[in-house]
Amino acid sequence: MRVDLDHFEQMYSAAADPWNFAEDHVEQRKYAITVASLPLARYRRCYEPGCSIGALTERLAAIADVVIAQEASPTAAERAAKRLATHTNVEVRGGSIPEMWPNGTFDLIVFSELGYYWDTDELRSIAVRLTQSIETGGHLVAVHWLGQSDDHLLSGREVHDVLRSAFGRSIVHHEDETFVLEVWTSR
């Protein structure tokens, strides 16, 4: 089970940036820490499901040769495409996971603010897909808010518990009062 995708389209139809990803200091700090936590300075092929309006995607474009950013909300995907139009190494796609999973493998997958929209069983299935999509030696970075929300099926900590069960011990772990971040290396 997952949260109804119409919920996101309604949110983005009502506000250009419903979570204030582009301007909020906490969000900008989280993006900076996310990129700084990556073990490599440069990646070949990055995948970011749930890219929203592309605020984090902009930073990923600076460190990856190719970024495939995906968003389930058509309105948000359109905003991300406009925001990222000058980044020729970024492809913004519409669609949700796991139904619209991209082909190929990646040396970086950014799973940010997304895991709590599925229940535990569905998230376990997605974690399997993540393990299959990361090249050996590639990295998965997961970042999740630690607050409570009526539209979350899992907490940020529960999401990371599921990911740890699939990937083992992370090589980077950052947690503060607002979010948890972990990086794993694929074996």
Q: What kind and span of H or E run contains 143? A: strand 134-145
CA distance 103 to 101: 7
Please tell me the predicted confidence (pLDDT) of residue 74: 96
C-beta atoms surrounding 91 within 10 Å: 14
Domains of the chain: 6-185 (3.40.50.150)
Please tell me the predicted confidence (pLDDT) of residue 7: 77
Helix extents (H) in 49-95: 55-61, 74-83
Backbone angles phi, psi at 105, to 5 degrees: -120, 170
Q: Per-residue pLDDT for the chain (187 aa), expressed as one digit of tens each?
A: 777 778 788 888 888 887 778 888 989 999 999 999 999 999 999 999 999 999 999 999 999 999 999 999 999 999 999 999 999 999 999 999 999 999 999 999 999 999 999 999 999 999 999 999 999 999 999 999 999 998 899 999 999 999 999 999 999 999 999 999 999 999 8
